[in-house]
Chain A
Amino acid sequence: MKPTDTRNPEYYHKVVDCQYACPAHTPVPEYIRKIAAEKYTEAYMINWESNVFPGILGRTCDRPCEPACRRGRVEEEPVAICRLKRVAADNKGDVQSLMPQGPFTPNGKKIALIGGGPASLSVARDLAPLGYEIHLFDEQIAGGGMMRSQIPAFRLPEEVLNEEVGYILNLGIHTQFMTYVESLKEVLEKDYDAVFVGTGAPRGRDLPKLPGRKEGDAHIHIGIEWLAGVAFEHIDKIGKKVIVLGGGNTAMDCCRTSRRLGGESVKVVVRSPFKDMKASPWEKEDAMHEDIEIFDNHVPLSFEVENGKLTGMKFQRVKAIYDDAGKRKLLPTGEPDVFIEADEVLIAIGQENSFPWIERDLGLKFDEWNMPEVDKVTFQSTHPKVFFGGDAAFGPENVITAVAHGHQAAVSIHLYCQGKDITQRPAPYTKLFSTKMGIHEWSYDSPVTIDQRYLVPQAEKSVTLLDRRKEVELGFDLPTGYKEAQRCLNCDVQTDFTADRCIECDACMDICPTSCITFTTNEEDEDQLRQKLLVPATDKTQDILVSENLKTGRVMVKDEDVCLHCGLCAERCPTSAWDMQQFFYSVTKAENI
C-alpha cells in the first residue's frame, strides 16, 4: 500500500470519530477538555461556533457522535458527549460579549429567510456579522421552529430556547413572526439578493384510510400538531386512556406529554419490533420510566367508534421476518386481533415536507416525490437565488443536521452574493501542533480512566409528571461532569509518525495496550495488509495508517480502530518518530471566507 497522507485534513479528521460523525463537525474532544479544565465559557463558545445551539442540543440532540465514540468500541458505553455539552451551557459565564458585536456595517445585500427554525437561524448567525440585511419570516409567535413547537418543555425549557434564539436575533435580524409566507413568487419579486428556505417538514402523516378515522376525528390528533398545540397553550388536557401510534422520538414526546396532561394509561403502539423503533434508546427508556407501555409488532386495523365516541383501536399482531439482505417484512402471526381501549389517539408515524406556497413555474424544479431539487453540497435549488436547508432540503432529519445545512447554505449565499463560484468550497480550517511538554509529558491528560459512563440525574417522577414545564433531566453536577469528561480519550491528539526517524526498536509495538501498531512487510492489497496486523484490522470503517518504507524495508502499520490516544507509543519512542499532535479541525463558515 502507498503511505498514508496524513497531511490531508480528512485523514486525522476521521480519527476523531465523534467530530467526524457530527454533521456540523463540532470539535468535541476540544470542548470536553475545556469542561474538565472548568473553562465552561470557552467550551460553550467552541460549541456555539460549530453548532449554534449548545444549550438546546445539550438536551435534545440526536447525538450521532455517541454511537461513533471510540470509547464504545473499547468498553461498553460512549462518552456522554451530549450531556457534557449541557454542562458547558449550564455553567458558562458571560458569552454575549464573546459573540459578534453589532451593529455591523451593511454590505448592501438583502436576504430573506423563510422559516425560523435551526437552519434559518444558523444562516442568520453566519451572515448577519458580514453586513447582510436579513429578513426572517415565520408563522409562529417566536423563533425556533420545531424546537419551539415540537420539543416539549420538560426536555427543553423555554428559557434555554429563548436565550439561544435570542443570541442570533439580537444580531440585528429583521423578524416577521406570525407571518405565513404564501407565495415564493412574491418573495422573489421583492429585491432580495438570495432567499433561504428553512421551512422544515411541517406535515404530520395521517392514516386517512383506516376505518373509523373520520368518525373518531374529534379524538384523533396528528402528533406534531398536537405537540404544537400544547406548546402554544391551545391544548392543556387529554383523555385518561391514550394510544400513541408510532415509534419515533415524536411518539415518545407525545406519550410523555400525554402523561403530563391527564393521560393515566398511555400506550405506545408500534408496527416494528421494539429494537427497530426509530426513537433513540434513551427516549424509550425515559418513556417507560414514566409508566408508558410500549406494544411492538402491532399493526393498526381500525379506530373503533361507538355512538360517535372513540372507544379504542384494533390491531393485528405481526412478527418481523428479515430476508438475507436484511430487508424487513411484517407477517401476521395468526393470533386474534387485539383491541386496546382509548379515549384519544395521537398519530406520530412520521412527517413530510410540504411546499404548497412555492409556485411550480418559477424555474425551481421539483422531483417525482414533490421535493425540490437541491444540490447536496451548495444547497442551491435549480433557481439560482433560492437555497434550501434543514428538513426542507432533503426530508426530516434533526436539529444538528439543520445547523450543518445552515452553515453550508450561508457559505453558498455569501459566495453567490459576491458573484463567486459557489461550487468552489472553502477548505476546512486546521491546526496540528505537538503536545510535547517534556521528555514524557504532554499538554493533555493522557492517562485513560476506566470509569463507566455516568448517569444523568433526573427529577422525581412524582414532581415532573405534574408540570409539563418541569425539566426532567437535571444535568450533571460539576464533579460528575468532570469525571465524565475524563472518560474522553482525546482522539484529536493524533499519533503522528515520522518514518525517517524510526530505528525500528519495536518499543511502540511492545507498549501499545491495544495492539494497534505492527511492523511488517508491506502488501499491495489493503485487505491482505489488514490481515497481517498483530490483531487483524477487520473493521474497514476505520482506517489504517501506513508509513513510508523503513530502513529494513518494512513499514509501520497502525490500526486506528481502538487506539486509546494514551501517548505511550510516543513516550516509549527513543527518537520522537512518534509524537502526540493535537489536531484542530473546523468547518469554514461564511464569516471566514
Chain B
Amino acid sequence: MTYLKPLFRHPKLPKNKLGYTLKEYEGTISTLCAGCGHDSISATIVQACFELSIEPHLVAKISGIGCSSKTPAYFLGNSHGFNSVHGRMPSVATGANLANKNMVYFGVSGDGDTASIGMGQFVHVIRRNLNMVYVVMNNGCYGLTKGQDSATADVGSASKSGHINPFQPVDLASLAVELGATFVAQSFSGDKQQLVPLIKAAIQHKGLAFINVMSPCVTFNNNPGSTKSYDYVREHMQATGTLDFVPEREAIKAEYAAGTDTAVSLHDGTVMRLHKLAPEWNPEDRLSAVNAMQQARAKNEILTGLLYINTEFGDLHDILNTSDGAFNTLGEKALCPGEEQLQVINAGLR
C-alpha cells in the first residue's frame, strides 16, 4: 500500500490569486477505505479553499471522533487542526473562534459524532450562531465500528447484513433550520459540482453554516436496500437549485431568467446567485424552507442544495459584543487590564 503520494503534480496545474496550486491545500494520503465518500468531501474542501484563495494558515480544522473526524488529516495540510473528543468539536471550535475571530473554522463531524454523542453540542452551537462551517459527513452508519445503524439511518433502511433499521432518523438539516441555523445546505459527496459552491458560500457566510453531506460508506452501507448508498442517493436526489458563487468584484458572466433567480448578498460584498429549480421555495424564508424539506421527505426525495439562508442574524461575536481584534493582537494591557478593572467588574456584580 502506498502511504506517500508522489510529489510530482501536473506541470500546468492552475494557480489561484495567491500563486498557490491545489497542492498547497492537500493533506496526507487518506487511510480511509478506498472509495469512501469522505475522501470526496475532503477533495471538495481543498478545491473550495483553493478557489477562494484562502491562506492555508488562516484556517483551523476541528473534528471529533469517527471516520469523518479523521479527514482533517487528509485536507489542508498547511492549516491548523484539532482532533478533539467525541462529539465535542463545537466546544473546541467555540473556544478557538472566541480567541481569534479572523480565521476560517471548519468543523468536521459525522452522523455519530453529531446526531448521537454530540447532539447537545450541535444544538447549542447552532443557537449561538458561531461563525464556522459545520460539515457532517453523513453515511448513516458507524463505519469505524463495523457499520451499526446510526441515528441518521432511515427507518426501513437495510444494513449490509440485511438488518432493517426500526427507528426514525434524525433529520439534521430540518433540525438545524428549526434551531435557527442561519445557513443550511444538504448535498452529496458524489456531486462536486454542487458541493464546491456550497462550501465556498458556507465559508463566506458569517455565522454557522451547516452542510449535511450524504457520504456513502463503501464498506458497510453501499448495499441494495440502504438509503445512503451511491445508487440510492443518486436516484433520489432532488436539487433545490444551482448555486453560482460570485466572489466580490468579479463580473457575473451568466444570464439568469427572471423569476427563478435570487441574488443573496453576503456580509463581505460577495453575491450568491441561486438558480431555483423548485419554484415555490424561497431560501430566505424559513417556513418555505421547512415546507420544501417536509414535502421532499414525504416523496422519499433527498433535497439537496442550499435550503435556507439568513444573512441578517449576527454571529456569536456580534451577539456578545466582543472586542474587534483577535486575542493574539490585543497586547498584554488589553488582555490583562489589572486590579482596578477587576474591582470595577466585581463591584458591578454585587
Contacts and interface: CB of A to CB of B under 8 A. Distances in A.
Interface in B6-22: 6-14, 22
Contacts of A538: 12
B13 A568 contact: no
A450 B6 CA distance: 8
A421 to B, nearest CB: 47
Contact of B2 (A75, A446, A552): A446
Contacts of A73: 11
Interface residues of B, number: 34
B7 A568 contact: no
A281 interface: no
Contacts of A74: 8, 11
Given A515-B13, A535-B14, A441 B1 contact: yes
A538 B231 CA distance: 34
A503 B35 CA distance: 9
A513 B5 contact: yes
A514 B10 CA distance: 4
Contact of A551 (B6, B29, B189, B234): B234
A114 B6 CA distance: 52
Contacts, number: 102
A441 B2 CA distance: 8
Contacts of A571: 1-2, 34
B37 interface: yes
B8 A573 contact: no
Interface in B32-52: 33-37, 39-40, 42-43
Interface in A567-582: 567-568, 571-575
Interface stretch (A126-134, A164-172, A504-512): A504-512
B5 A568 contact: yes
A572 B38 CA distance: 13
A511 B5 contact: yes
Interface string B160-197: 00000000000000000000000000000110100000
Task: Classify the secondary structure of B's interface with A.
Answer: loop
A504 B216 CA distance: 11
Nearest to A578: B34
A401 B5 CA distance: 39
B1 A514 contact: no
A450 B7 contact: yes
A506 B6 contact: no
B4 interface: yes
A525 B203 CA distance: 37
B6 A566 contact: yes
B35 A515 contact: no
A156 interface: no
Contacts of A567: 2
Contact of B35 (A448, A507, A552, A566): A507
A574 B34 contact: yes
A574 B8 contact: no
B42 A566 contact: no
B96 interface: no
A571 B30 CA distance: 11
A536 B10 CA distance: 11
A564 interface: yes
A503 B2 CA distance: 22
Q: Of residues B2, B5, B39, B230, which shows the largest number of chain A Cβ atoms within 10 Å of its Cβ?
A: B2
Shortest beta-carbon contacts, A-B, top 7? A574-B35, A440-B1, A448-B6, A510-B43, A505-B35, A574-B218, A514-B10
21 contacts: A74-B8, A439-B1, A447-B6, A450-B8, A503-B231, A504-B230, A505-B37, A505-B189, A506-B40, A507-B40, A511-B39, A513-B7, A513-B9, A514-B10, A515-B10, A535-B13, A564-B6, A571-B34, A572-B30, A572-B39, A574-B35
Interface of A: 73-75, 439-441, 446-448, 450, 503-507, 509-511, 513-516, 535-536, 538, 551-552, 562, 564, 566-568, 571-575
